[in-house]
Amino acid sequence: MQAKALWVSKPAGYLSTNRSAYGKLLFRGTVTANDLAASATYNFQLIHTGSATAPQYKSPSFEAVAAPARDADKVFVAANSAANTKLGAHANGAYALNARSGTGSLTFRASATGTYETISSANATMIVTSLTDSDGKWEFTVTSSDAMSAKATYEVDVYMLDSNVWTNGEDNETGRTNIATLDVDYATAGAGTLTIPSNVVAASNVSLTFTIEDTFGESIAADALGRQYSVQLTSPETDDIDLDVVATDGTAMFVFDNYLTAGESEILTAKVFRGSATSPTLASVDATVTLFAVTNVTGVNATENIYGVVVSYADFVTGKSSAAAPGLASGATSSGNVVDTNGAGIPGAVITIAADGFQFKSGDLFYSDSVTLASTSTYTSTSTSTSTGTFSVTFWTRTASSAGENITVTADDKLALILVKSVIPFGNTSNDVGNLKFSWDLPANVVMNTTYEVTATLTDR
């Protein structure tokens, strides 16, 4: 790479005959051998060689980044908004991407520069190009003039320059592991699923919260026509449970006393309706919950020690993972069970798992510091045996501790402790500057020609 720079200067007394038409005097400066060294730092300096006391002016430094040693062999494209898009299967040379009706602009992860033109006729094409960033990514935004109509489609194709040839990864991928071509269409969001954190419960005072999610996995309170959703909860004998709750913000909470006696259980059914209370219409979305009679917990069993948990420096999130707040992956797992006086597992027991500074995940939801869940009604431990009353949770920590930190597991008034010993990331990961924090104790105001004692500190994040 040739390292030739232009320095702009306006020396005193310059004339129109020795400057450009733009009123600037241009100098060319070359680096030794005209080559930038990988990982070296450069800046520009303006020095008055005729005076040792004259001010010197230096530009901000920049680092020359080495070109990647390996050639790119795959290219991907994905919409950044998981809340407003849903990726479908591959068909007819592209992956189907449904976008929520009304979402006029979509940003794709594949930051392009160069054009703000519009496509004004059918089957027309617009091309933009860009260089990837240090993570191999770039973005561009497509704004559609019709973000409401089904079949108002457009296609997104991403190519990479490989040996002076523009290549779309889909063209040569037999396994279709690349997502380089998207067919974008708009779809009206409606009630798609009815979710609940646990499908078993055995509390004396039962609290059930259902969430109505649309086809994009987001909570929804009304359909496209503004008709309010509600949830009906019934038991096999409607004299026991027959409740209706309006799904405010897409959620419906039911609170009632457990009416079962020792040894009993039954299945409760929740159904989604839309429209007025006097003439509701079934939305064909439902879920079931198994209600168990209350059984006193006499013991909580859990793994006593977990070693070698690697500290995570990623941001913790609450709720569902999203493109804006991606959840963590590959955490450590803790499991156990709750038992009665006979040592039998108790299904539906309420369990709280807690530790300050920890991130927990149960199902597809993330929690900070603590999570409350229910023990399972059936858990397959081998191909031939099953057990009830089990629990399992995935967790992460931000603190490295050789002595260990305790996770508490509580059910009723019974408690178990899990000692977690953690370490900082090892290998190249530990040297990633994103995992390290550098600080020093300089005074707020520094006085010239004054000596200060400075303490520099390097810690993990």
Q: Indicate which CATH number applies to the domain containing 269.
A: 2.60.40.3450
pLDDT of residue 230: 94
pLDDT, mean of residues 9-31? 55
Residue type at 220 in one-letter notation: I
Most confident of 7-16, 203-212, 375-384: 203-212
Residue 406 domain flag = yes
Percent of residues, the chain, with pLDDT higher than 70: 71
Residue 71 domain flag = no
- Residue appearing with tokens 């010239």: 448
pLDDT, mean of residues 185-212? 87
- Please determine, for residue 25, whether its predicted confidence score (pLDDT) is greater than 90: no
pLDDT of residue 3: 40
pLDDT of residue 443: 83
pLDDT tens-place string over residues 230-260 = 999 999 987 889 999 999 899 999 999 999 9
In this predicted structure, which of 143-152, 392-401, 406-415 has the lowest mean pLDDT?
Answer: 143-152
pLDDT, mean of residues 174-191? 72
- One domain, residues 183 and 231: no
Question: In the structure, what pLDDT confidence band is assigned to residue 228 with cuts at 50, 70 and 90?
Answer: very high
Residue 9 domain flag = yes
- Please determine, for residue 325, whether its predicted confidence score (pLDDT) is greater than 70: no
- Residue appearing with tokens 């399992």: 392
Among 187, 210, 242, identify where a domain stops: 187
Instruction: Please name which of 227, 212, 219 lies closest in space to residue 277, comparing C-alpha atoms.
Output: 227
Question: DSSP string of 333-357?
Answer: EEEEEEE-TTS-B-TT-EEEEEEEE
- Whole-structure pTM value: 0.61
- One domain, residues 180 and 195: no
pLDDT of residue 239: 85
pLDDT, mean of residues 402-418? 93
- One domain, residues 227 and 281: yes
**3-state SS track over 6-34:** EEEECCCCCCHHHCCCCCCEEEEEEEEEE
Tell which wins on pLDDT, 200 or 70.
Answer: 200
Tell which wins on pLDDT, 191 or 46.
Answer: 191
For 374, residues 6+ apart whose C-beta sits below 8 A from its C-beta are 197, 198, 200, 201, 202, 348, 349, 350, 351, 391
d(CA 255, CA 251): 13
- One domain, residues 240 and 316: no
- One domain, residues 320 and 288: no
| Domain hosting residue 359, numbered range | 299-430
Across the chain, what does the average pLDDT equal? 78
Number of structural domains (the chain) is 5
pLDDT tens-place string over residues 32-62 = 555 667 777 777 777 777 777 777 777 767 6
For CA atoms 283, 284, 287, 293, the dihedral sign is: positive
- One domain, residues 55 and 109: no
- Please determine, for residue 99, whether its predicted confidence score (pLDDT) is greater than 70: yes
